[in-house]
Amino acid sequence: MLAMSALDLDAVRTQIVGLATPLPRREGTPGPAINLDNAATTPPLRQVQATVERFLGVYSSVHRGAGLKSQAASAAYEEARAVVGRFVGARPNQHQVIFTRNTTEALNLLAHRLDLAPGQVIISTELEHHSNDLPWRGVAPVAHVRTTPEGALDEAHYAALLNQYVGRVRLVAVTGGSNVTGYVPPIHRMAALAHAHGAAIVVDAAQLAPHRRIALGDLADPAHLDYVALSGHKLYAPYGAGALIGRADTFARGAPMLAGGGSVRRVTPQIVAWADGPAREEAGTPNAVGAVALAAACLALENLGFEAITAHETALTAYALDQLAGVPGLWLYGDPDPDGAAERLGVIPFCLDGYDPHLVAAILSYEAGIAVRSGSFCAQPYVRRLLKLEHAGCEQGQQGLVRASFGLYTTEAEVARLVSTLHAITAGDYDGLYALSPTTGSFQPIGWKLAPQSLFQLTERGGGF
Ligand SMILES: Cc1ncc(COP(=O)(O)O)c(C=O)c1O
């Protein structure tokens, strides 16, 4: 049984949109959808949906209209900015909250605005999502901190890189939590070391934000974080907004990444005077609905309390690691120790010996309605490194892994269903029932086809006027 946690799971689950949608199975009657792919994206919270519905009643142009609704929408947008700032401990006199589409855009924006001097380098790590690696490669030479065979950061190598490039490191870019192994780097310790070497630090908080409280800290604190990036769709607010939160002085000078309406104070045929504050970075009509949704999600998570969220997810992760270890031929990657669950996120990568990871994911979906992800999770260098583990028992040359990832609403029963289905796979229950489709390139049950449109069709209710 799960340890007692302060989270009332039944109440929490009533707040998750989509849990009641039954999914067809290859055999038998449709059953509950089990989403163990929360590292990819999370369903909306009902509170978020309800806030969006309310906001749509006053929805109008933001910072561009004299109408009363426009004023209300503008005020809501700025209130959302303040809420998101508070969510990560931003100080209004030090930090700026810039709304973006997602983490990827936030990190690209920062890369654009850093204004690197010739010779400066950026330190990233081998465990990053491509979105916290490729944007830096576009603006400077990038040195990558190595990982250990278990997927943890090699802190000695980090220190060595800072010394190797002494005086030249502009930025350290590190994830707050791995989307592959759930590993949580020591971001504040890394920040202190980065600052001691004259570098700033950005934390890709796409995975961390839904699970742990984030504290930017005062700029005077050596362990402060200079910037964090996050995505609403991983935070129970899939309405198209994310944010870059960080030191305001970075954005006080220079031209924005996107130029256009709203980003300027004054324009003449000869002169462009950029706006002050976040407006400079937010050219074009902003996604006010997304921003309000993101803020509503931040408030909902704060109300639930990160202590309760973390306690629940830690207990669930420990249970999952313990149970998965008992599946014959299953290899866990990252830290497999249930006792270490409090130090990591509920993101668990594994493989089943003799089974293509994409086949495992297909069977879980078609037989049990369990959504997981398979492949390299937009972190190819890291996954390739993990697959080199000497003890790894899964097929040589394997191209990826299976990943189960939990949300605050995931239950022990859902994890148990994952484990029992994996037992059935290794017992051979589904051998010969699936084939790789040459048309879709994915594994499909032989002789059984489901049109995705049977779950949702845009024009179901007539659509047009
Ligand atoms: C650690 C990490 N960073 C960045 C991203 C990119 O997030 P988005 O696709 O919302 O821009 C992801 C998405 O999976 C992620 O897991």
Catalytic residues: 378
Query: What pLDDT does residue 6 have?
Result: 82
Query: Phi and psi of 134, rounded to 5°?
Result: -65, -40
The identity of residue 380, as a single letter, is Q
- What's the rounded mean pLDDT across residues 123-134? 98
Which of 18-22, 82-86, 437-441 has maximum average pLDDT?
82-86
172 CA to centre of ligand 1 in angstroms: 17
Give the residue, 399 or 127, on which the prediction is more confident: 127
What strand order describes the sheet that includes 121-125?
Answer: 95-100, 242-247, 227-231, 200-204, 169-175, 121-125, 142-145
Give residue ranges with CB within 6 A of ligand 1.
39, 102-104, 129, 131-132, 175, 179, 204, 206-207, 231, 233, 378
- From residue 215, alpha-carbon distances to 73, 220, 311, 369, 447 in Å are 28, 14, 19, 37, 53
Total length of the chain: 465
Query: What pLDDT does residue 464 have?
Result: 63
Residue 444 has pLDDT above 70, yes or no: yes
- In the chain, what are the helix, strand and coil shares in percent, each to the nearest 5? 35, 20, 45
Per residue in 302-350, pLDDT tens? 999 999 999 999 999 999 999 999 999 999 999 999 999 999 999 999 9
- From residue 439, alpha-carbon distances to 144, 292, 435, 444 in Å are 38, 41, 11, 11
Return d(Cα 58, Cα 200) in angstroms, integer: 40
Answer for the pair 313, 406: CB distance below 8 angstroms, yes or no: yes
Residue 124 has pLDDT above 50, yes or no: yes
Query: What pLDDT does residue 360 have?
Result: 97
Confidence of residue 3 (pLDDT cuts 50, 70, 90): very low
Query: What pLDDT does residue 274 have?
Result: 97
- What's the rounded mean pLDDT across residues 205-227? 98
Q: Which of 38, 234, 244, 380 to mutate to test the pocket of ligand 1 (most atoms within 8 A of CB)?
A: 234
- From residue 325, alpha-carbon distances to 110, 345, 364, 386, 403 in Å are 41, 17, 18, 18, 14
Residue 393 has pLDDT above 70, yes or no: no
Query: What pLDDT does residue 149 have?
Result: 84
Q: Hey, what domains does the chain have and what are their CATH numbers?
A: 9-43+305-454 (3.90.1150.10), 47-303 (3.40.640.10)
66 CA to centre of ligand 1 in angstroms: 37
From the CA of 204, give the closest atom in ligand 1.
3
Please report, rounded to a whole number, the percentage of residues in the chain having pLDDT higher than 70. 96
Residue 116 has pLDDT above 50, yes or no: yes
What is the residue with the minimal CA distance to atom 7 of ligand 1?
103
Per residue in 233-262, pLDDT tens? 999 999 999 999 999 999 999 999 999 999
Q: Which of 42, 102, 131 to mutate to test the pocket of ligand 1 (most atoms within 8 A of CB)?
A: 131
Per residue in 378-389, pLDDT tens? 999 999 889 876
> Whose structure tokens read 């796979």?
425
The pTM score is 0.96
